[in-house]
Structure 1
Amino acid sequence: MVGSVFMATKPTEQTIQAASLTASCPRYEHAVQVICKRWTGLLLNALMQGPRRFCELTSLVEGLSDRVLSDRLRELEMEGIVKRVVYPQIPVRIEYQLTEKGYALKPVTDAIHVWANDWVEYTDSCDTATLNDATGRS
């Protein structure tokens, strides 16, 4: 299934110029800096499934320390990608969920899943049920 999503074509002068402009665009650069920070992609992937509590995110993203998780959630909240919801009950319950801006990244995360399926060699199997539901691929 290699290359099944996008057909590789030889870049034209026009596409090279467009890519050059995009690559030097401050918006593009900022977007890449935000979503490509270590652990952020895995957090976004977990939050695409619905609201999560801090402890759920810790257990879902293996190897992620509490301090780094807290930092990433705060950064994503400042960017308007994640919303922190406090439920006034005893004990207080706090959940993190994607905003509309966060859910707008779904095509990006789906494309990364597809690309990884097609191109990344890995010995362990991944649970692709979510990907299959989202993309219709098996």
Structure 2
Amino acid sequence: MKNFIQEFKNFAIKGNMIDMAIGIIIGTAFNNVVNTIVKKVVMPPLSLLTDGVNLANRKLVLRDASDTAEEVAMGYGELVEALIDFGIIALTIFLVLKGINRFRDKAENPEDTEVTTPKNIELLSNMEKLMKEQNELLRDLKK
């Protein structure tokens, strides 16, 4: 139990929980931006293509309303909007991660002089070179 409490303290104090909270807050704000873009920018032109019908209100009526029963309908228009939201969010995350990975790959490449290589990558690269030299020397000694 003591290890569990210590692990939780390390998790909370080292910033993982704070980073996660910040990510959730930013994600929520980003979701609001995407919803607005979809509803106010993307959907109006799509509605024009469907003769001015608001796509969010589109539904497949399974049973019409009557005096004794309510209408039963599947609202596929909201699903279309949600899929467009998802597509925009997925594309944006993909593009951001692609950019981050490109910069990380450049930073981790010890031969790339354009970007400063982090010390740990530089040290590992130096160790690799030394090990190759050592292996070559050992091979020469065995011959």
Class of the TM-score when normalised by the shorter of the 2 chains: under 0.3
For normalisation by structure 2, the TM-score amounts to 0.23
Bigger proportion of residues as helix = 2
Give the greater-gyration-radius structure (CA).
2
Bigger relative contact order, structure 1 or 2, given CA contacts below 8 A and separation 6+? Answer: 1
Bigger proportion of residues as strand = 1
